[in-house]
Amino acid sequence: MQAPAITPRRAVWTLGVTQLIGYGCTSYLPATLAKAQASSLGVSTAFVFGAFSGGLLLSALLGPMAGRAVDRHGARRPLAIGSLVLTLALVGMAMAQDGRQLALAWVVLGAGMALALYDIAFAGLVGWFGQDARRSITGVTLIAGFASTIAWPLSAWMESAYGWRATALFWAAANLLIALPLHLTLPRPVRLASKGHVQAQEEDEPPVPGMALKMVLLAAALAVMAGVGSVMAAHLPPLLMGLGAGAAAAIAAGMLVGPAQVAARLAEFALVRRIHPLVSARAAVAMFPAGALLLLALGPLAAAPFAILYGAGNGLFTIVRGTLPLVLFGSRNYGGRLGALSVPSRLVGAAAPLIFALGVERSPQMSLWVLIIACLGALGCLFVLRKPTA
């Protein structure tokens, strides 16, 4: 018996909450726990970020497979399994007694990231709503955009009050008791077409002109922004402190990222039918170098504007990574295509925090310049891309 179709509102609220938890316990965790974990277990902070990068690498390798699974079987099962894997990884992290056990926990966390975060959620929305999913994708990111606002101060407070092990257990409980049950309320998948029928449908779909070049350009832009996002999620407070901001000011600036993300997404949500995702993408990429140049020119005085511009750009680009492939290439095989596009993004995202950690210790200013130049290259890729003609 076929499950009743999920409504866009229910899908948005369900996935918005689970994505908030998912990102809170993954991308935003190293910045608050890495130093305490390193001190407790007798390893370097770079070792902890290296373990996190290993998890991101595993996430990259699993991404295409997870996307194809959603195309064939729906998003409910991968999302639920992802919540379980995140729970197990965080429990393992809390129980780690040495560097090897801690590294294993971070790597397993990466497997959960491949199954429980935006790519799978977006593919599920496209599977349910097709080309109409753009508004739902924006809605999910509106809610999940508060992850940095909630996770950074909450994890920092819990680590200070109860220790990093208790903080990991808290996020494990959030996955097990909130995210997993919510994922299990999603519709069971309808029995999908046979492989032969799917292939026949693909043959009926008109080819996208210049798809290979468009995929390469889009993958390059997505990879750069994934690297920037990964670096900022892991290093924003330490970066600002390295440029002269106090610890409290750096945390306060970091708390502005979430509201800036949400404000940008609200604007996108209101203008979703008026602005092409390609225009949004170009604006999003331009915001980071603009904020970084302000920070380099004004120092700690520009910490808040930098965080706001980064947050707004990151907020828009999070939507674009889901909507631009949908508009450029269509809804068929969306999950697999998004998984393929995510491979370079996740590889860059895996390497970037560790490389930046090494560079920022020597020169925060030079490290920022590298990110500025990379963003300008991504902006060039997006200007080469053209809107599809009707």
Enumerate residues 6+ apart whose C-beta is below 8 A from 7: none
Chain Cα centroid distance, residue 357: 19
Angle at CA of residue 298, ends 295 and 299, nearest 5°? 65
Is residue 23 situated within a structural domain?
yes
Cα separation of 272 and 348, whole Å?
Answer: 29
At 242, which CATH number?
Answer: 1.20.1250.20
Average pLDDT over every residue of 374-383:
95
Is residue 27 situated within a structural domain?
yes
Cα separation of 30 and 130, whole Å?
Answer: 35
Residue of higher predicted confidence among 312 and 190: 312
Is residue 2 situated within a structural domain?
no
Confidence of residue 6 (pLDDT cuts 50, 70, 90): confident
Q: Check whether 372 has a pLDDT greater than 90.
A: yes
- Tens of pLDDT, residue by residue over 198-224, are 444 444 555 666 788 999 999 999 999
Instruction: Quote the domain boundaries for residue 339.
Output: 8-384
Q: Where are the alpha helices (DSSP H) in the chain?
A: 8-24, 30-41, 45-73, 76-95, 99-116, 118-129, 133-144, 147-162, 164-174, 180-184, 195-204, 211-242, 247-255, 257-270, 277-298, 303-329, 334-362, 364-384
Is residue 121 situated within a structural domain?
yes
Is residue 337 situated within a structural domain?
yes
Is residue 91 situated within a structural domain?
yes
Query: Which of 15-19, 228-232, 363-367 is most confident?
Result: 15-19
The confidence score (pLDDT) of residue 207 equals: 60
The confidence score (pLDDT) of residue 306 equals: 95
Is residue 389 situated within a structural domain?
no
Is residue 390 situated within a structural domain?
no
The confidence score (pLDDT) of residue 200 equals: 44
- Tens of pLDDT, residue by residue over 131-190, are 888 889 988 988 887 887 788 889 999 999 999 999 999 999 999 999 999 999 998 765
Q: What is the DSSP letter of 145?
A: T
Could you give the number of structural domains in the chain?
A: 1
- Tens of pLDDT, residue by residue over 239-279, are 898 888 888 888 888 889 888 988 888 888 887 667 888 99
Cα separation of 228 and 44, whole Å?
Answer: 23
pTM > 0.85: no
